[in-house]
């Protein structure tokens, strides 16, 4: 009698899944095997892909080894030049131009391990992209395809003649033939698409697959405007007698912002130090420890106001005790009741000297119903790497609560925030404290004006100032910014800082 066969001996595992950060090194190694001689991904590229659009990054895994990978982003394709290059459509490989509200999935990379070609790994990756298009109701998938066999025919055929030969099955191209078999149709041929693609002679075939299940979202295909209204408070510090009095002052400004239909209201750094004005502690370190006991009341108050007035609140900053350490933390209170926080990363000499403040580490970017935003507290605005990291993570607005005691300190924050807006083609918003707290050490004098800044180019506010309060006056500045104008400026502005950065010369990395 023959021995029964155990099917488990023949089991293998192959699956298609979303890429993770743990896969990055293996994907980079795979790329070097798939495209020898071409410039591979850097880790920063793939990290950016996963931060901007994790759903669009896919791998195929066989017996625990990654044997295929593809990367994609969403765009409104009609907003790009007909003769675009790979660098322009991917923002130099970082896909920071990914648009969650776009209509087209753009595929920027597909690779299959040479030893596993013939296992229909590419078909699995293309099917994964189609699933994304179905799931997100995207109009089409567009790819800039290589024609790697063209170099063998370039002496006798133009790119158009070569492509027509492939379409009519007279010539076989490993990429174009595969794309045609997967129902992609030719749109046009782009020259100088990928500079290091020697085999394709730098040409690419622009191909499109149309989603048969696509349902048009409206008759208007592209946004003409995406306005966000912001109210920033220049807050007067003065003696108060209770937390309730503090809450009444805060609610007054929020009510003003609500009446103006604002999407955000911004309060200054160290806002809650006003509570120290009725504190009997004489030692600054003891006063700060006492101040941290108001943390729950502070969070509950702002969270209730955000929901009550249907507004997103940047709640200034507050000293919070965590373990043995004191941190300067700014909170985002969303109008849906959710809360986020950003630690101050660069601590000033005064904060260390008087209050023993510890620095945070992470540069956070938060999703809101008005796009991605970041918070950078006072001194953090004076380090350009901070804004660059936030921008690369997708932030469109950086809020800077600050507290400064004299004019030159205030001007440092102002000029740096204006510079950050220009360098990163981003909006920046400041909110500061004026007035004085005579009995409170290190908060006795204040100097500020609060403002909303824009990039300096056509389409933006004159002088790059959307709105600004007077100096040392308690008042608000209310202004409307437009995220669609920002997007257009990044694409077609007089200068294009984000596109023109020399990643081959310098880069900014974030260690967290």
Residues belonging to the active site: 269, 344, 378
Helix (H) or strand (E) holding 435: strand 433-435
Helix residue spans in 11-109 (DSSP H): 24-34, 43-52, 86-90
Residues in the chain: 512
Helix residue spans in 316-429 (DSSP H): 349-350, 384-392, 407-424
Half-sphere exposure of 176 (CA within 13 A, CB side): 28
Q: What whole-number distance in Å separates Cα of residue 244 and Cα of residue 287?
A: 19
Helix residue spans in 260-363 (DSSP H): 284-291, 295-308, 349-350
Helix (H) or strand (E) holding 257: helix 243-259
Q: What would the DSSP string read from start to end of 181-237? A: HTT-EEEEEETTS-TT-TTTTT-EEEEEEE-TT-----S--S-S--EEEEEEEEEEE
Angle in degrees, CA 64, 47, 15, rounded to 5:
25
DSSP-derived 3-state class of residue 293: helix
Q: What whole-number distance in Å separates Cα of residue 448 and Cα of residue 274?
A: 16
Q: What whole-number distance in Å separates Cα of residue 362 and Cα of residue 27?
A: 26
Q: Could you tell me which of 408, 409, 391 has the C-alpha nearest to residue 486?
A: 391
Q: What whole-number distance in Å separates Cα of residue 190 and Cα of residue 202?
A: 9
Cβ burial, residue 190 (10 Å; 0-12/13-18/19+):
buried
């Amino acid at each position: 009698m023959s021995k029964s066969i155990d099917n488990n001996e023949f089991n293998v595992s192959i699956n298609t899944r979303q890429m993770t950060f743990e896969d990055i090194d293996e994907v980079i190694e795979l790329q070097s095997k798939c495209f020898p001689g071409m410039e591979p991904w850097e880790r920063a590229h793939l990290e950016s892909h996963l931060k901007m659009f994790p759903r669009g990054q896919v791998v195929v895994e066989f017996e625990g080894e990654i044997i295929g990978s593809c990367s994609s982003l969403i765009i409104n394709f009609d907003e790009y030049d007909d003769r675009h290059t790979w660098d322009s459509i991917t923002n130099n490989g970082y896909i920071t131009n990914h648009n969650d509200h776009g209509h087209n999935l753009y595929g920027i990379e597909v690779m299959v391990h040479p030893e596993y070609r013939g296992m229909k790994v590419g078909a699995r990756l293309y099917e994964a992209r189609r699933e994304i298009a179905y799931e997100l109701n995207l109009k089409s998938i567009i790819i800039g395809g290589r024609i790697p066999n063209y170099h063998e025919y370039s002496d006798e055929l133009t790119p158009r003649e070569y492509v027509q030969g492939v379409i009519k099955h007279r010539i076989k191209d490993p990429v174009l033939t595969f794309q045609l078999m997967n129902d992609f149709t030719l749109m046009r041929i782009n020259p100088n698409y990928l500079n290091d693609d020697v085999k394709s002679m730098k040409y690419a075939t622009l191909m499109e697959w149309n989603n048969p299940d696509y349902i048009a979202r409206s008759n208007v295909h592209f946004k003409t405007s995406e306005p966000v209204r912001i109210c920033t408070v220049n807050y007067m510090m003065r003696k108060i007698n209770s937390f309730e009095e503090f809450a009444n002052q805060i609610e007054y400004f929020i009510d003003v912002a609500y009446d103006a239909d604002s999407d955000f209201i911004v309060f200054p750094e160290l806002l809650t130090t006003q509570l120290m004005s009725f504190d009997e502690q004489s030692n600054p370190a003891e006063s700060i420890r006492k101040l941290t006991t108001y943390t729950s009341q502070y969070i509950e108050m702002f969270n209730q106001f955000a929901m009550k007035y249907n507004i997103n609140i940047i709640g200034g900053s507050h000293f919070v005790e965590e373990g043995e350490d004191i941190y300067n933390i700014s909170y985002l209170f969303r109008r849906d009741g959710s809360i986020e926080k950003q630690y101050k990363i660069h601590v000033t000499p005064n904060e260390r000297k008087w209050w023993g403040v510890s620095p945070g580490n992470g540069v956070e970017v938060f999703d809101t119903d008005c796009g991605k935003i970041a918070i950078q507290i006072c001194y953090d605005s004076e380090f350009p790497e901070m804004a660059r990291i936030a921008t690369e993570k997708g932030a469109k607005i950086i809020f800077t609560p600050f507290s400064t005691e004299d004019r030159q300190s205030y001007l440092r924050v102002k000029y740096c925030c204006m510079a950050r807006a220009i360098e990163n083609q981003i909006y920046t918003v400041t909110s500061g404290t004026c007035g004085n707290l005579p009995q409170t050490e290190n908060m006795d004098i204040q100097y500020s004006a609060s403002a909303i800044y824009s990039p300096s180019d056509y389409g933006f506010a004159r002088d790059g100032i959307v709105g600004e309060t007077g100096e040392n006056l308690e008042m608000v500045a209310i202004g409307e910014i437009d995220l669609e104008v920002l997007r257009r400026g990044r694409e077609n502005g007089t200068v294009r800082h984000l596109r023109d950065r020399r990643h081959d010369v310098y880069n900014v990395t974030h260690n967290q």
